[in-house]
Amino acid sequence: MAFAPSEEPVALKILVAGGFGVGKTTLVGAISEIRPLRTEEVLSDRGVGVDDTDGVEGKTTTTVAMDFGRITIREGLVVYLFGTPGQERFWFMWDELSYGALGAVVLADTRRLTDCFPSIDYFEQRGTPFIVAVNCFDGADRHEPDDVRIALDLDPEVPVLLCDVRRRASAKVVLVTLVEHALKMLTAAQR
Amino acid sequence: MTGPQWMDEEAGALVRPYALTGGRARHSGAKLDLITMVTTTGSPRDVPGIGPEQRRILELARRGASVADIASDIDLPLGVVRVLIGDLHDLGLVDVRAPGKVAPLPSERILKEVINGLRAL
C-alpha cells in the first residue's frame, strides 16, 4: 500500500509596503510575532545624493531594518510578512523582496496619499497582486474607499479597504482580503 | 574566531559583519531568496574550517528554516548570512530549495487553507 509522500513545506511571502510612519510595523506586529531582520547593503548610485556621502571614499554600506513576521498556518505551511521600506531609495531591495511574493498590502495614510504612489506603480508593473489598506489614524478625516480608489487611479478589481492596524481583527481582515484577491487573480489566470 | 566582540557601544562590533565572509558581499553560487528553505544535510561535527556562525546555521536549519528566519535568529545582516549559507551549500552541508522551484504559484488549495488559517487566528 502506498502512502502519499509527506508534503514539501510551503512558505509564502506577503509584503507590507507604504510610506514612512504609515503603520507597517504596527500591522506586522498586530498579526504575528515580529522579529528583527536587517540587511546591510552596498549603497547603489541611487542611494547617493539622498544619503550624505560627501567625503566618503569608495563604496559604503547602509543598514536597513525590515519588519519581519511569521504566521504558522499549520506545520509545513508558513506565511512570512515583510514590511518593506517604501521610499524609492530602497528600490534596490524591492526586486528581491517581491520575487515569488504572493501579494502585497499597500498601506495608505489619507493625509499623505502620494507616499504610496511608488509602491502601487511598482506592484502594477510587476503584476504582483496587491490591495490598498487605508489606515485610519486618529484625527484624520475618514475617506470612503471609493474616493481613495479615484485619487490613486486604481483598477476596479484592486480591493481598497479601511483598517485600523493596531487591532488584530482588522489586521486579519486586511491579510484575508489580500489572499482572497490573490486567489481570485490566480483562478482568473487559469481560466 | 569567536563572534563579534564589543569594545563599547560607540566603537561597535570589533568584527564587522562582512569580516565573517572574508569581505565578500555576494555569493557566486545558489540564489537565496528570503524564504528559500535551508535544510542541513548531515552531521556538521567533522567538518573543519567552518566558523561558529556557520555551525549555528547548521543547527538552526536541522529541521529546515528560511533564510530570513536564520538571519533573524543569528542577528546578522541578510547579505552576510547569504554568503555563509552559500558556502555551506558549496560544501554540501545544506540543501536549499527556492520557493518558486517546486510550484511557481501556490495552488488554489493552499491559498484557501491560508485564508481559513488567517480567519482562525
Q: Can you give the pLDDT at residue A99?
A: 82
Domain membership of residue A143 (yes or no) is yes
Structural domain total, chain A: 1
SS3 A188: helix
A74 and B117: CB-CB below 8 Å? yes
Q: Which domains does chain B have, with CATH numbers?
A: 17-119 (1.10.10.10)
Domain membership of residue A53 (yes or no) is no
Tell me how far apart the alpha carbons of residues A19 and A144 are, in angstroms, rounded to a whole number.
20
Q: Does B17 touch chain A (CB under 8 A)?
A: yes
Tell me how far apart the alpha carbons of residues A113 and A110 are, in angstroms, rounded to a whole number.
5
B113 and A182: CB-CB below 8 Å? no
Q: Can you give the pLDDT at residue B16?
A: 67
Quick one: which of B97, B90, B3 has its CA closest to B47?
A: B90
B35 and A80: CB-CB below 8 Å? yes
Chain B residues with CB-CB distance to A184 below 8 A? none
Domain membership of residue A58 (yes or no) is no
Q: What is the dihedral of CA A39, A43, A49, A51, to 10 degrees?
A: 40
Backbone angles phi, psi at B71, to 5 degrees: -60, -40
User: Looking at the predicted structure, is the pLDDT value of residue B8 above 90?
Assistant: no
Tell me how far apart the alpha carbons of residues A22 and A28 are, in angstroms, rounded to a whole number.
12
Higher-pLDDT residue of A2 and A94 is A94
With beta carbons less than 8 A apart as the criterion, state whether A186 and B108 touch.
Answer: yes
A11 and B119: CB-CB below 8 Å? no
Write a three-state SS string for A69-86. Answer: EEEEEECCEEEEEEECCC
B37 and A9: CB-CB below 8 Å? yes
Quick one: which of B26, B120, B98 has its CA closest to A71?
A: B120
| Sequence-separated (6 or more) residues with CB below 8 Å from residue B37 | A9, A11, B64, B65, B66, B96, B97, B99
With beta carbons less than 8 A apart as the criterion, state whether A163 and A173 touch.
Answer: yes
B80 and A82: CB-CB below 8 Å? no
Which amino acid is residue A118, in one-letter code? P
Lowest mean per-residue pLDDT among A49-58, B14-23, B63-72, B88-97: A49-58
| Sequence-separated (6 or more) residues with CB below 8 Å from residue B59 | B40, B44
User: Looking at the predicted structure, is the pLDDT value of residue B34 above 80?
Assistant: yes
Q: Does B24 touch chain A (CB under 8 A)?
A: no
Domain membership of residue A122 (yes or no) is yes
Nearest by CB to B113, from A9, A39, A73: name it.
A73
% of chain B beyond a pLDDT of 90: 44
Q: Can you give the pLDDT at residue A2?
A: 42
Going by the DSSP 8-state scheme, the letter that residue A138 receives in this structure is T
Tell me how far apart the alpha carbons of residues B54 and B60 are, in angstroms, rounded to a whole number.
10
Q: Which residue has 510550484 as its cell numbers?
A: B103
SS3 B54: helix
Q: Which of B35, B70, B97 to mutate to test the interface with A (most CBs of A within 10 A)?
A: B35
Identify the closest residue of chain A to B82 by CA–CA distance.
A39
Helices A168-190 & B108-119 angle (0-180, nearest 10): 170
Tell me how far apart the alpha carbons of residues B38 and B68 are, in angstroms, rounded to a whole number.
10
The predicted model gives A45-59 an average pLDDT of 46
The mean of the pLDDT values for chain A is: 83
Residue-wise pLDDT tens digits, A79-90: 999 988 766 666
Higher-pLDDT residue of A110 and A169 is A169
Residue ranges with strand state E in chain B: 37-40, 65-66, 94-97
Number of H helices, E strands in chain B: 5, 3
Give me the residues of A, 48-107, that contact B with CB < 8 A.
61, 63, 68, 70-71, 73-74, 77-80, 82, 96-97, 99-100, 102
ipTM over 0.95: no
Largest CA distance in chain A: 71
Residue-wise pLDDT tens digits, A109-161: 988 888 889 899 999 998 999 999 999 877 667 788 999 999 999 999 999 99
Domain membership of residue A165 (yes or no) is yes
Chain A residues with CB-CB distance to B97 below 8 A? 8
Tell me how far apart the alpha carbons of residues A191 and B5 are, in angstroms, rounded to a whole number.
58
Lowest mean per-residue pLDDT among A153-162, B46-55, B98-107, B108-117: B98-107
Which domain range does residue A15 map to? 10-37+67-190
**What's the residue count for chain B?**
121
| Number of CB pairs, chain A paired with chain B, less than 8 A apart | 102
Domain membership of residue A1 (yes or no) is no
Q: Residue A145 is part of a domain; what is its CATH number?
A: 3.40.50.300
Closest-CA distance, A62 to chain B, in angstroms, reads: 11
User: Looking at the predicted structure, is the pLDDT value of residue B3 above 50?
Assistant: no
Nearest by CB to B114, from A12, A100, A187: name it.
A12
